[in-house]
Chains A and B, each alone.
Chain A
Amino acid sequence: MRKILFALVASIFSFSAMAGGHADWFKEAGAPYKGTVLQGVAENTPPGQFAGEVLAKEFEKLTGIKVQLENTSWDQMYDKAIKDMEANSGIYDFVYIEQDIVYDYLNRDFLVNITEGLANNPDLQAPGVSLDDFTTFIDYFKDGSGDVFGVPMEAFIKVYLYRKDLFERADAKAQFRAQYGYGLTPATSFDQYRDNAEFFTHFCAAEGMECWGTTVQGHTGHPASTYEFLESIAPSFGLYNWGVNMDSYQSCVENGGQLNGGRAKAALNFWTQLLPFAPPEALQSTWSEVGSSFAAGRAAQGWVYGENAAWIATDAEKSAVVGNVGVMLPPTAPGVMTQAASGNGYIGYYDGGAYGIPHSSKNKEATMLWLQYVALNEHQADWAIAGGRITHKDTYADPKVMAVDEQADGYFTLMRDTGFLYAGAPPFPFHGAGRGAIDPFIYSALAGEMTPEEALDGACQALDTVMADLGYQN
């Protein structure tokens, strides 16, 4: 909250500064739409809160166009947005497009072509807004011809967080060396990760601390667990694109896929074997609870979404580990880093989303103005500080961002320098259906109802059935 307030004050200054710049243009361009109410729906993330509580208010003051942004849970956001677009009811003027759903939305022609819309309405084209200012993350929201269908508003990488204070304790270092025969450091390999997890679970218990060796995003009834496996753990073991053969759309090994192959099984075995070293809430944890657990000091290390990494490291009001957070790339199997660097693989998930305009919107022109306002360079630094996200190339060099970067152990620098090693979700139009087929098997593996081998054999068959059902297989 303090961050949002700080951002609000900061944005008032930048707003005043902007008054001499683009404010007049937005005021003039927005005049015909004064009194219009734009309705949006998005996932409730720190960047979404900034957009709703800071940017929307500034925009209204400037143009008279009211922006009502409904920041809600991930499930609700999809439910509401998709139902609205399917029914063509026009409730929402802009919707959040998570990177992994964009192929579905484009396939179903839900979204307005923003590039085309601006080209056809030069009067709506704001000065100072260039789609070239964005990082390459904007490419995920382009179609084959390079037209943009969503304006990125958040982008993160899923990093490895660790507790510096725990890893640097002399007694911990000595005990670890005595027990494992090598030095205690943040993990760069899976064996080391497991050893660290086991060690800190026992070390914390012996010290009377409520902390465990690792986070696990292992909710046994929520897709968050499938996502952690498919988007973070599996790629770091060298299993990409869910193990789906991108030519034949088969995922079982016997049909040319890899979802039940050696790498996948090693990855799922590794991940499920971390559960004894995870906080007891791990099996009811989505990405939000993982962030909260780490912030509460309940885990020594873990894979944590970037949207949470920044506030965990810097927001003393919400986090008990400020000043003690280390940020690194997650461990990877031999060869994976090389594959990622050469563009033939990736080490984890480049997460984020954009605001897009549904065809059903009744206020497309006013929404175009709002989306361009969101894309202005002037807002980006404060937005990055409030929400830990960066979508513009220049934001990295902003002094305010650099100061926070230092506090967050170089999270933004890591994102800038190694973002290319990460990738968004594979371009599956059947994303929801495919993931939905895999979910129960991941839940069962986590709950111990199936072995990882059985779970992946079942998951690949279920996924293959879906892809055959939907007509994707040759």
Chain B
Amino acid sequence: MLSKNKTGWLLLSPTILILGLAGLLPFIYVLYVGFFQWNPLAVDPSLQFEGFASNYRRLIFDEVFLESIWRSIKFSVVTLTIELSLGFVLALSLLSSFPLKSFFRSVHTLPLVIAPIVVGSIFKLFTVQGLGPLPHILKDYFGYTLNYGLNADQAFWMIVIMDVWHWTPFVTLTLLAGLSALPQDPYESAKIDGANNFQIFTYITIPMMVPVLIVVIFIRLMDSLKIVDEVWMLTGGGPGYATRFTGIHIWKEVFEKRYYGLGSAMSILYLYITIVICWVLYSVMVARGKNEE
């Protein structure tokens, strides 16, 4: 038994080592730096300890940071809702046969293989005033002015559209895999009992898909909460603060303004908030799943 354990630990050791070096050590360092005031551009560029909670206390009253969190949560909720709904519809459609189905599935999956920074560039080229075709089309045919450099709402929704375009295929493919693996017996029983399609969907499909949905929701939630690259490319966080999500805000504080201590505290606090959101969501979903059983 002991020898079996030893072999197990031996096999695990490279992974543990890599995780420790690449994950745990930086985390501990960020946690440590978060307790200090540290800006190398300061008159005194060394780490200044002003109490364990000084940076965290400051963040609680930092309106810009708090607004960026609220903005990120709002963005995540909106994109998640759209991507899940759209992804579910597409996954259900892909279960049935229709002409050019494989072609559609391949094309639909393409955005997934594109790097986020490239997605940002594509959307920028497509939508930028003066050069991009979309503002021209919208103006010429619909009389609508698209200028997300000026309009905060347009900037926010443009990023939502970009994220939905990029990540809905992931949701679709994951849900499709889940749907394909569902047992057919409950469906046959339901049909014999006279259930209609809507009832089958709400009382059989959804409850059986809960484990898959939990995975999809968590992956997308965590991803969308830390969005940076695409936004950086498209709007740079503007106009004003309109698309300054927490990831971008932290980047600007740390790498433009060099507030290493405060930025580290922001990262830790945001990680904590993300964990809390995920935990609450998980508890609600699991509890609901149990009730339905």
Q: B29 CB to closest chain A CB, in angstroms?
A: 12
Which of B148, B236, B240 is the most central at the interface, judged by chain A CB atoms within 10 Å of its CB? B240
In the complex, whether A389 has a CB less than 8 A from a CB of chain B is: no
Flag the segment in B124-132, B182-190, B281-289 that touches A. B124-132
Question: Does A113 count as interface, using CB distance less than 8 angstroms?
Answer: no
**Which residues of the other chain, B, contact A450 by a CB distance below 8 angstroms?**
240
Known: A280-B130, A281-B131, A433-B258. A443 touches B239 (CB 8 A): yes
Query: Is the pair A469, B39 in contact by a Cβ cutoff of 8 Å?
Result: yes
Residues of B within 8 A of A424 (CB): none
Contact with B along A215-248 (1 / 0, CB 8 A): 0001111110000000000000000000000000
Residue A148, interface by CB 8 Å: no
Query: In the bound complex, do residue B235 and residue A281 qualify as a contact, i.e. CB atoms below 8 Å apart?
Result: no
- Are the C-beta atoms of B41 and A432 separated by less than 8 Å? yes
Q: How far is the CA of A431 from the CA of B150 in the complex (A)?
A: 27
Q: Which residue of B lies closest to A462 (CB)?
A: B64
Tally B residues with Cβ within 8 Å of A: 37
A79 to B228: give the CA distance in the assembly, Å: 15
Residues of chain A within 8 A of B44, CB atoms compared: 471
Chain A residue nearest to B236 (CB atoms) is A221
CB contacts (< 8 Å) of A440 on chain B: these are: 64, 240-241, 244
**By the criterion CB–CB under 8 Å, are A437 and B257 in contact?**
yes
Is the CB of A298 closer than 8 A to any CB of chain B? Answer: yes
CB distance from A436 to the nearest CB of B (A): 4
Q: Is A429 an interface residue (CB 8 A)?
A: yes
Distance between B115 CB and nearest chain A CB, rounded to angstroms: 15
| Contact across chains for A280 and B129 when beta carbons are under 8 A apart | yes
A298-342 Cβ-contact flags toward B at 8 Å (1 or 0): 100000000000000000000000000000000000000000000
Q: Is A293 an interface residue (CB 8 A)?
A: yes
| Cross-chain contact of A430 among B41, B64, B129, B244 (Cβ < 8 A) | B41
Contacting residues, chain B, for A219 (C-beta < 8 A): 149, 236, 238
* A281-B129, A283-B147, A466-B257 known; A86+B239 contact, CB < 8 A: no
* Residue A284 CB within 8 A of the other chain: yes
Q: Are A220 and B41 in contact (CB under 8 A)?
A: no
Contact assessment for A221 and B41 in the assembled complex, using a CB-CB cutoff below 8 Å: no
Determine whether B293 belongs to the interface, using a CB cutoff of 8 Å to chain A: no
A61 interface residue per 8 A CB criterion? no
Selected from B41, B131, B238, B241, the residue in CB contact (under 8 A) with A107 is: B41
Q: Please tell me if A472 contacts chain B, counting CB pairs below 8 Å.
A: yes
**B239 close to A108 (CB less than 8 A):** no
Closest to B238 in A: A221
**Chain A neighbourhood of B193, CB < 8 A:** none
Cβ-neighbour of A298 out of B64, B130, B241, B259 (below 8 A): B130
Beyond A281-B130, A469-B42, A470-B42, is A436–B257 a contact (Cβ under 8 Å)?
yes
Residues of B within 8 A of A (CB): 39-45, 64, 124, 128-131, 135, 147-152, 235-244, 252-253, 255-259
25 contacts between A and B (CB under 8 A): A221-B236, A221-B239, A221-B243, A279-B130, A280-B130, A280-B147, A283-B129, A283-B147, A284-B129, A431-B41, A432-B41, A433-B39, A433-B41, A435-B256, A436-B257, A443-B241, A446-B150, A447-B239, A447-B240, A448-B150, A449-B152, A449-B240, A466-B257, A470-B39, A471-B42
A contacts, CB < 8 Å to B: 79, 82, 86, 104, 107-108, 218-223, 279-284, 293, 298, 429-433, 435-437, 440, 443-444, 446-450, 466, 469-472
Question: Sorted from nearest, which 8 A-B pairs have the closest CB atoms?
Answer: A221-B236, A221-B238, A283-B149, A281-B130, A220-B239, A447-B239, A471-B43, A220-B238
